[in-house]
């Protein structure tokens, strides 16, 4: 395996026209990390440089495509309310800005880093559900930049730009994912791609200050590990490439540089070590999962994960775990297209491996299926979250493969067709995304069938206004603390901007909130009004966990009628008020929630998983 070609003009201004010639010709054949003379550069001087108008039109086209991807994400933010899982990240960011430190997502022994990015966005743009969901969009935009830089180092600038746009516009599943703030994966993706880029630079003998590249590699790897061990999708191929190059003595790095990188890794992952040394390394214990089978996860990769990455299958509602997903062209056609694309990809990977080019991508492709199948969580394929680390590499391989094919056609006397292939690739990706965005798609953004916001043709300037109105009604009643179901409590905490503290008494993400409710003698109870459950679920989440007392999906919750029975038998006066789709019960005296749960044989308090 040879190292990436990294030569750059010493004077960018003096060599601007020559650089444009090389960039243009790279469409026909990527240069990359080949041991042979790069075909894109051979004969480049014989071609006329692009005119100023052509350059401006090209830049305009790139800007318009990027703006289209940004528009789709902002439009998504305007039609999807956040849920309590996302609200927890916003609440963590709020507490971080007030001086608190958290290693991991509340109630878990994994998942960190991203709440600090949210806190930064809050500090600059203010705290709201919009700025919360804007954070992963910004991280995804940074991912595009890293994809461009990786494509430029491994192949050419043109390939990098095409790969970045392809990733930004394809597929619909990951456009949606980039608007969901769950606290750690987007930060890990940025760290993984950044670490890969620095690894290539560190292995390049011609690059200056390679020791600092190793240090940066270690730091980003450590921060990514703190975010989630899923960064192994990138660290394993990086480690294999380092080991191979160092053992073959194709790259020389001083022991001091390697030690600096190891130290930087420890520094970047310090919060992970701090939390795990106190918990007996709980992060390494996944617990019981519904389907831990290695072979079953491989099947999930083939039947769902890869088709979703390719844009052939949409994510599914949460009650479709054993289903087939929604194929855009039907199951038979979709599977046939997926198999054809995968086979073409394998041929391209074999060509890259034999030519000694882009070894990092080849190693990623070889390691990914095994790492995916080994993960205890990848049985869950419904929204594609566990495949998030694959699309950037698929975009790079697709853009480079199409550029190589275009170069082959050009050398065989069909330059116009060869030059048009990258544009056709982007058009095809946009067509797939557009088809998925069609209003006939049966699966809306919030995973619930029958939602009023079930298609991309609907939009509202404030998708979380439903909870905002509830918060205003509670504040008007001067009700500041209450017990509520999981899907209600944390989003209510966030939307009220601290004016209300709500918490479940069993499924508890942040115990201080529950303590605050328990210590208030005026604490109320908030329930969904009978007959309104489906409507509330459209706005807040799945029907289970909407009322207090549910510890997990499938468990029985407490309801307002039962609480009324308990209060009457304890001779505690109370008042019941209807607030839209909710019923607020206000006891005259404090009520121990655990005593209520025991009375109705509802299991004692548990923390969030």
DSSP string, 524-590: EEEEEPTT-HHHHHHHHS-STTSSTT--STTSPPP-HHHHHHHHHHTT--EEEEEETTEEEEEESS-
The answer to whether the bond into 522 is cis (omega within 30° of 0) is no
3-state secondary structure of 113: coil
pLDDT of residue 604: 63
Q: Which two tokens stand for residue 181?
A: 């703030």
Predicted local distance difference test score (pLDDT) of residue 46: 36
Nearest to 165 by CA among 33, 80, 59: 59
pLDDT of residue 34: 36
Cα separation of 313 and 330, whole Å?
9
Distance CA 26, CA 547 (A): 59
Distance CA 62, CA 165 (A): 8
Question: Which pair of structure tokens corresponds to residue 526?
Answer: 């908030």
The rounded distance, in Å, linking the Cα atoms of 163 and 67 is: 16
The CA distances from residue 542 to 85, 173, 448, 535, 536, in Å, are 12, 20, 7, 10, 9
Please tell me the distance from the alpha carbon of residue 217 to that of residue 259, in angstroms, as a whole number: 12
Contact 385, 177 (CB under 8 A): yes
Amino acid 299: pLDDT: 93
> How buried is residue 283: exposed, middle or buried, by Cβ count under 10 Å (0-12/13-18/19+)?
buried
- Cβ neighbors of 434 (< 8 A, separation 6 or more) are none
d(CA 485, CA 559): 10
Q: Strand 606-607 relative to strand 507-508: parallel, antiparallel, unpaired?
A: parallel
Taking the alpha carbons at both ends of the chain, their separation in whole angstroms is 44
Torsion, CA 153, CA 156, CA 161, CA 163, rounded to 10? -80
Residue 344: CB atoms within 10 A of its CB come to 14
Residue 386, classed as helix, strand or coil, is helix
Task: Report H helices in 269-390.
Answer: 270-279, 294-300, 306-309, 331-355, 359-374
pLDDT at position 550 is: 86
Nearest to 309 by CA among 317, 321, 301, 299: 301
Closest CA to 143 of 177, 184, 186, 175: 186
* Sign of the alpha-carbon dihedral angle for 423, 425, 428, 434: negative
Residue 477: partners with Cβ closer than 8 Å, 6 or more residues away:
577, 584
CA–CA gap between residue 396 and residue 440 (Å, rounded)? 31
Identify the CA nearest to 199 among candidates 213, 189, 211: 213
Q: Facing residues of 525 across strands?
A: 483, 585
pLDDT score of 323: 58
- What SS3 class is residue 2? coil
What's the Cα-to-Cα distance from 378 to each of 103, 294, 321, 389, rounded to whole Å? 23, 10, 12, 12
Strands 524-528 and 481-483: parallel
Dihedrals phi, psi of 527, to nearest 5 degrees: -125, 160
CB 339 within 8 Å of CB 317? no
Strand partners, 528: 582
* DSSP summary character for residue 368: H
Q: Which of the 8 DSSP states describes residue 304?
A: I
Question: Backbone phi, then psi, for 115, in 5-degree steps?
Answer: -55, -25
Task: Give the whole-angstrom CA distance, residue 505 versus residue 558.
Answer: 11
pLDDT of res. 142: 98
Is the CB of residue 162 less than 8 Å from the CB of residue 208? no
360 close to 154: Cβ distance less than 8 angstroms: yes
Residues of the chain scoring pLDDT < 50: 1-47, 439-440, 442-453
What is the pLDDT, as a whole number, of residue 27?
35
Any residues with CB less than 8 A from the CB of 280 and at least 6 apart, and which? Answer: none
In angstroms, the CA 355 to CA 342 distance is: 20
User: Could you tell me which of 302, 412, 396 has the C-alpha nearest to residue 352?
Assistant: 396
Report whether 298 contacts 369 (CB < 8 A): yes
Say which DSSP state 511 is in.
H
Which phi and psi (to 5°) does residue 502 adopt?
-125, 145
Decide: residue 324, CB within 10 A, 0-12 exposed, 13-18 middle, 19+ buried: middle
- Report how far residue 150's alpha carbon sits from residue 157's, in angstroms, rounded to the nearest whole number: 9
């Amino acid at each position: 395996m040879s190292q990436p070609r990294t030569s750059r003009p010493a004077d960018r201004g003096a060599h601007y026209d020559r650089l444009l010639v090389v960039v243009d010709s790279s469409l026909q054949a990527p240069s990359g990390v080949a041991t042979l003379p790069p075909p894109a550069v051979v004969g480049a001087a014989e071609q006329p440089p692009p005119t100023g108008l052509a350059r401006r039109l090209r830049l305009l086209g790139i800007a318009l495509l990027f703006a289209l991807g940004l528009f789709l994400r902002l439009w998504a933010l305007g039609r999807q309310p956040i849920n309590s899982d996302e609200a927890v990240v916003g609440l963590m960011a709020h507490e971080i800005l007030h001086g608190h430190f958290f290693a991991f997502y509340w109630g878990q022994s994994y998942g960190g880093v991203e709440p600090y990015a949210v806190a930064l966005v809050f500090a600059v743009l203010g705290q709201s559900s919009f700025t919360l969901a804007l954070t992963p969009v910004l991280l995804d935009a940074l991912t595009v930049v890293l994809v461009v830089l990786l494509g430029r180092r491994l192949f050419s600038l043109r390939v990098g730009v095409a790969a970045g746009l392809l990733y930004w516009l394809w597929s619909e599943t990951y456009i949606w994912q980039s608007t969901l703030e769950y606290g750690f994966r987007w930060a890990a993706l940025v760290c993984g791609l950044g670490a890969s880029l620095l690894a290539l630079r560190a292995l390049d003998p011609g690059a200056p200050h390679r020791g600092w590249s190793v240090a940066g590699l270690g730091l980003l790897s450590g921060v990514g590990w703190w975010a989630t061990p899923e960064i192994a999708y990138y660290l394993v191929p990086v480690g294999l490439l380092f080991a191979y190059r160092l053992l073959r003595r194709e790259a020389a790095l001083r022991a001091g540089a390697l030690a600096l990188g190891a130290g930087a890794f420890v520094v970047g992952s310090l919060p992970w070590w701090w939390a795990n040394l106190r918990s007996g390394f709980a992060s390494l214990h996944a617990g019981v999962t519904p389907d831990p089978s290695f072979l079953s996860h491989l099947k999930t990769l083939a039947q769902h994960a890869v088709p979703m990455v390719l844009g052939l299958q949409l994510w599914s509602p949460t009650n479709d775990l054993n289903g087939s997903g929604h194929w855009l062209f039907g199951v038979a056609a979709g599977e046939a297209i997926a198999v054809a694309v995968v086979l073409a990809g394998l041929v391209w990977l074999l060509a890259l491996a034999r030519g000694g080019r882009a070894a990092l991508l080849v190693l990623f492709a070889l390691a990914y299926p095994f790492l995916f199948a080994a993960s205890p969580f990848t049985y869950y394929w419904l929204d594609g979250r566990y495949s998030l680390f694959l699309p950037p590499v698929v975009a790079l391989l697709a853009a480079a493969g199409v550029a190589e094919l275009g170069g082959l056609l050009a050398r065989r006397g069909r330059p116009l067709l060869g030059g048009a292939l990258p544009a056709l690739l982007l058009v095809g990706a946009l067509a797939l995304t557009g088809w998925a965005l069609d209003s006939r798609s049966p699966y809306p953004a919030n995973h619930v069938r029958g939602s009023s916001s079930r298609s991309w043709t609907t939009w509202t300037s404030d998708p979380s206004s439903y909870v905002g109105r509830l918060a205003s009604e509670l504040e008007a009643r001067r009700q500041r603390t209450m017990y509520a179901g999981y899907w209600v409590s944390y989003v209510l905490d966030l939307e009220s901007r601290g004016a209300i503290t709500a918490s479940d008494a069993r499924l508890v993400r942040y115990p201080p909130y529950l303590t605050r409710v328990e210590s208030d003698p005026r604490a109320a109870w908030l329930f969904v009004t009978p007959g309104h459950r489906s409507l509330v679920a459209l706005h807040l989440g799945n029907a289970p966990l909407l009322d207090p007392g549910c510890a997990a999906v499938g468990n029985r919750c407490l309801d307002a009628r039962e609480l009324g029975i308990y209060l009457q038998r304890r001779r505690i006066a109370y008042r019941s008020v209807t607030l839209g789709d909710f019923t607020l019960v206000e006891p005259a005296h404090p009520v121990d929630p655990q005593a209520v749960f025991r009375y109705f044989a509802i299991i004692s308090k548990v923390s969030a998983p």
